[in-house]
Chain A
Amino acid sequence: SQTIHQWPATLVQPVGSPLSLECTVEGTSNPNLYWYRQAAGRGLQLLFYSVGIGQISSEVPQNLSASRPQDRQFILSSKKLLLSDSGFYLCAWGTGKPYEQYFGPGTRLTVT
Protein backbone atom coordinates (compact mmCIF):
# COMPACT_ATOMS: atom_id res chain seq x y z
CA SER A 1 0.00 0.00 0.00
CA GLN A 2 1.02 3.58 -0.54
CA THR A 3 2.17 5.85 2.25
CA ILE A 4 3.26 9.46 2.32
CA HIS A 5 5.60 10.96 4.88
CA GLN A 6 6.25 14.57 5.78
CA TRP A 7 8.72 16.00 8.20
CA PRO A 8 9.13 17.74 10.43
CA ALA A 9 5.66 17.76 11.99
CA THR A 10 6.20 21.10 13.67
CA LEU A 11 8.73 23.83 13.01
CA VAL A 12 9.37 27.23 14.57
CA GLN A 13 11.77 29.39 12.62
CA PRO A 14 12.87 33.04 12.89
CA VAL A 15 12.22 35.52 10.13
CA GLY A 16 15.02 35.46 7.57
CA SER A 17 16.05 31.87 8.21
CA PRO A 18 16.02 29.18 5.51
CA LEU A 19 13.41 26.45 5.21
CA SER A 20 13.42 22.90 3.97
CA LEU A 21 10.37 20.65 4.23
CA GLU A 22 10.55 17.15 2.86
CA CYS A 23 7.89 14.81 1.55
CA THR A 24 8.38 11.23 0.41
CA VAL A 25 5.95 8.72 -1.02
CA GLU A 26 6.24 4.95 -0.84
CA GLY A 27 4.49 2.22 -2.76
CA THR A 28 3.86 3.98 -6.05
CA SER A 29 5.86 5.08 -9.06
CA ASN A 30 5.87 8.35 -10.98
CA PRO A 31 3.24 10.03 -8.81
CA ASN A 32 2.09 13.60 -9.28
CA LEU A 33 3.21 15.51 -6.21
CA TYR A 34 1.73 18.62 -4.67
CA TRP A 35 2.52 21.22 -2.01
CA TYR A 36 -0.39 23.09 -0.44
CA ARG A 37 -0.54 25.72 2.26
CA GLN A 38 -3.49 26.11 4.58
CA ALA A 39 -3.97 29.26 6.62
CA ALA A 40 -5.88 28.95 9.90
CA GLY A 41 -9.57 28.23 9.25
CA ARG A 42 -9.10 28.49 5.51
CA GLY A 43 -9.04 26.26 2.48
CA LEU A 44 -6.04 24.87 0.69
CA GLN A 45 -3.89 26.97 -1.58
CA LEU A 46 -1.93 25.01 -4.18
CA LEU A 47 1.68 26.18 -4.17
CA PHE A 48 3.51 23.79 -6.48
CA TYR A 49 2.91 20.57 -8.33
CA SER A 50 5.18 18.18 -10.17
CA VAL A 51 4.41 15.51 -12.75
CA GLY A 52 7.95 14.15 -12.92
CA ILE A 53 11.54 14.46 -11.72
CA GLY A 54 12.78 18.00 -12.18
CA GLN A 55 9.37 19.21 -13.45
CA ILE A 56 7.92 21.86 -11.16
CA SER A 57 4.91 24.08 -11.80
CA SER A 58 4.41 27.10 -9.58
CA GLU A 59 0.89 28.26 -8.93
CA VAL A 60 1.42 31.38 -6.89
CA PRO A 61 4.47 33.64 -6.93
CA GLN A 62 5.91 33.81 -3.47
CA ASN A 63 8.90 33.38 -1.27
CA LEU A 64 9.05 29.63 -1.73
CA SER A 65 10.47 27.14 -4.21
CA ALA A 66 10.09 23.42 -4.76
CA SER A 67 12.30 20.68 -6.11
CA ARG A 68 11.86 17.04 -7.01
CA PRO A 69 15.29 15.43 -6.97
CA GLN A 70 13.91 11.87 -7.01
CA ASP A 71 10.74 10.26 -8.29
CA ARG A 72 9.09 10.04 -4.89
CA GLN A 73 10.67 12.97 -3.10
CA PHE A 74 9.35 16.52 -3.07
CA ILE A 75 11.04 19.36 -1.21
CA LEU A 76 9.70 22.79 -0.32
CA SER A 77 12.31 25.45 0.37
CA SER A 78 12.86 29.07 1.15
CA LYS A 79 16.07 31.06 1.39
CA LYS A 80 14.62 33.64 3.79
CA LEU A 81 11.36 33.09 5.63
CA LEU A 82 8.78 35.84 6.04
CA LEU A 83 6.16 36.10 8.78
CA SER A 84 3.52 35.50 6.12
CA ASP A 85 5.03 32.07 5.39
CA SER A 86 3.51 30.74 8.62
CA GLY A 87 0.87 28.10 8.07
CA PHE A 88 0.10 24.43 7.74
CA TYR A 89 1.92 22.84 4.80
CA LEU A 90 0.52 19.74 3.23
CA CYS A 91 2.11 17.43 0.71
CA ALA A 92 -0.07 15.20 -1.44
CA TRP A 93 0.31 12.68 -4.21
CA GLY A 94 -1.98 11.53 -6.99
CA THR A 95 -1.84 9.60 -10.20
CA GLY A 96 -3.76 12.12 -12.27
CA LYS A 97 -6.39 9.59 -13.22
CA PRO A 98 -8.34 8.80 -11.12
CA TYR A 99 -8.20 12.26 -9.69
CA GLU A 100 -8.04 11.59 -5.98
CA GLN A 101 -5.17 13.03 -4.01
CA TYR A 102 -3.68 11.50 -0.88
CA PHE A 103 -2.30 13.77 1.78
CA GLY A 104 0.53 13.59 4.26
CA PRO A 105 0.13 14.52 7.92
CA GLY A 106 1.29 18.10 7.37
CA THR A 107 3.93 20.43 8.84
CA ARG A 108 2.92 23.28 11.12
CA LEU A 109 5.33 26.16 10.40
CA THR A 110 5.47 29.18 12.67
CA VAL A 111 7.73 32.02 11.63
CA THR A 112 8.58 34.30 14.55
Chain B
Amino acid sequence: SQQGEEDPQALSIQEGENATMNCSYKTSINNLQWYRQNSGRGLVHLILIRSNEREKHSGRLRVTLDTSKKSSSLLITASRAADTASYFCATDAPRNSGGSNYKLTFGKGTLLTVNP
Protein backbone atom coordinates (compact mmCIF):
# COMPACT_ATOMS: atom_id res chain seq x y z
CA SER B 1 0.00 0.00 0.00
CA GLN B 2 1.11 3.55 -0.65
CA GLN B 3 2.62 5.00 2.52
CA GLY B 4 3.46 8.56 1.52
CA GLU B 5 1.12 10.82 -0.39
CA GLU B 6 2.34 14.23 -1.54
CA ASP B 7 0.15 17.23 -1.92
CA PRO B 8 -0.29 19.06 -4.21
CA GLN B 9 0.37 16.86 -7.24
CA ALA B 10 1.64 19.89 -9.13
CA LEU B 11 2.73 23.37 -8.09
CA SER B 12 3.70 26.30 -10.30
CA ILE B 13 5.31 29.41 -8.83
CA GLN B 14 7.46 32.37 -9.85
CA GLU B 15 11.16 32.56 -9.18
CA GLY B 16 11.86 34.05 -5.76
CA GLU B 17 8.66 32.74 -4.21
CA ASN B 18 8.54 30.03 -1.57
CA ALA B 19 7.27 26.55 -2.40
CA THR B 20 5.59 24.30 0.14
CA MET B 21 4.87 20.64 -0.45
CA ASN B 22 3.16 18.28 1.95
CA CYS B 23 3.39 14.57 2.60
CA SER B 24 1.00 12.41 4.59
CA TYR B 25 1.58 8.83 5.65
CA LYS B 26 -0.47 6.12 7.27
CA THR B 27 1.62 4.08 9.71
CA SER B 28 4.27 4.92 12.28
CA ILE B 29 7.72 5.68 10.93
CA ASN B 30 11.36 5.69 11.92
CA ASN B 31 12.41 8.42 9.52
CA LEU B 32 10.99 10.50 6.70
CA GLN B 33 13.08 11.63 3.78
CA TRP B 34 12.64 13.98 0.86
CA TYR B 35 14.09 13.32 -2.57
CA ARG B 36 14.24 15.34 -5.74
CA GLN B 37 14.06 14.05 -9.31
CA ASN B 38 14.85 16.10 -12.37
CA SER B 39 12.98 14.99 -15.47
CA GLY B 40 14.31 11.69 -16.79
CA ARG B 41 16.94 11.38 -14.09
CA GLY B 42 17.52 9.42 -10.90
CA LEU B 43 16.43 10.63 -7.49
CA VAL B 44 18.68 12.72 -5.30
CA HIS B 45 18.45 12.60 -1.53
CA LEU B 46 17.71 16.02 -0.01
CA ILE B 47 17.10 15.65 3.69
CA LEU B 48 16.16 13.11 6.37
CA ILE B 49 14.16 13.87 9.49
CA ARG B 50 13.87 11.38 12.32
CA SER B 51 10.60 10.60 14.05
CA ASN B 52 11.77 12.36 17.23
CA GLU B 53 12.62 15.57 15.36
CA ARG B 54 10.13 18.31 14.54
CA GLU B 55 12.08 20.54 12.18
CA LYS B 56 15.24 20.40 10.14
CA HIS B 57 17.03 22.85 7.87
CA SER B 58 19.46 22.43 5.03
CA GLY B 59 20.32 25.53 3.03
CA ARG B 60 17.08 26.81 1.47
CA LEU B 61 15.20 23.69 2.57
CA ARG B 62 13.10 23.45 5.70
CA VAL B 63 11.37 20.21 6.65
CA THR B 64 8.83 19.81 9.42
CA LEU B 65 7.40 16.60 10.82
CA ASP B 66 4.21 16.20 12.82
CA THR B 67 3.95 12.58 13.91
CA SER B 68 0.59 13.17 15.62
CA LYS B 69 -0.87 14.15 12.24
CA LYS B 70 1.35 11.75 10.30
CA SER B 71 2.43 14.54 8.01
CA SER B 72 5.51 16.39 6.84
CA SER B 73 6.12 19.52 4.82
CA LEU B 74 9.02 20.61 2.64
CA LEU B 75 9.56 24.33 2.22
CA ILE B 76 11.90 25.65 -0.43
CA THR B 77 12.61 29.33 0.12
CA ALA B 78 13.56 31.88 -2.54
CA SER B 79 12.95 29.35 -5.32
CA ARG B 80 15.02 29.31 -8.51
CA ALA B 81 14.24 28.00 -11.97
CA ALA B 82 16.77 25.23 -11.27
CA ASP B 83 14.50 23.96 -8.46
CA THR B 84 12.05 22.75 -11.12
CA ALA B 85 11.73 19.02 -10.46
CA SER B 86 9.54 16.37 -8.87
CA TYR B 87 9.81 16.02 -5.11
CA PHE B 88 9.09 12.77 -3.29
CA CYS B 89 8.76 11.86 0.34
CA ALA B 90 9.82 8.43 1.50
CA THR B 91 9.29 6.67 4.80
CA ASP B 92 10.72 3.68 6.57
CA ALA B 93 8.67 1.91 9.19
CA PRO B 94 9.79 0.44 12.52
CA ARG B 95 10.28 -3.31 12.59
CA ASN B 96 7.38 -3.72 15.03
CA SER B 97 5.16 -2.15 12.39
CA GLY B 98 6.23 -4.59 9.74
CA GLY B 99 9.11 -2.48 8.44
CA SER B 100 12.75 -3.29 7.96
CA ASN B 101 16.06 -1.49 7.98
CA TYR B 102 16.18 -1.74 4.24
CA LYS B 103 13.03 -0.60 2.54
CA LEU B 104 11.62 2.82 1.80
CA THR B 105 8.09 3.56 0.63
CA PHE B 106 7.81 6.48 -1.76
CA GLY B 107 4.87 8.73 -2.50
CA LYS B 108 3.78 9.74 -6.00
CA GLY B 109 5.52 13.09 -5.83
CA THR B 110 4.83 16.77 -6.34
CA LEU B 111 5.87 18.31 -9.65
CA LEU B 112 7.26 21.78 -8.92
CA THR B 113 7.66 24.25 -11.76
CA VAL B 114 9.50 27.49 -11.04
CA ASN B 115 8.95 30.06 -13.75
CA PRO B 116 11.75 32.57 -14.45
Contact = CB atoms under 8 A, between A and B. Distances in A.
User: Are A and B a genuine interacting pair, yes or no?
Assistant: yes
Interface of A: 32, 36, 42-44, 46, 49, 51, 59, 88, 90, 92, 94, 96-106, 108
Interface magnitude class on chain B: 20 to 34
A65 to B, nearest CB: 19
Interface of B: 2, 30-31, 33, 40-45, 48, 88, 90, 92, 101-109
A106 B41 CA distance: 6
A47 to B, nearest CB: 12
A99 B101 contact: yes
12 contacts: A36-B106, A43-B109, A44-B88, A88-B40, A90-B42, A96-B101, A99-B30, A101-B43, A101-B90, A103-B43, A106-B42, A108-B40
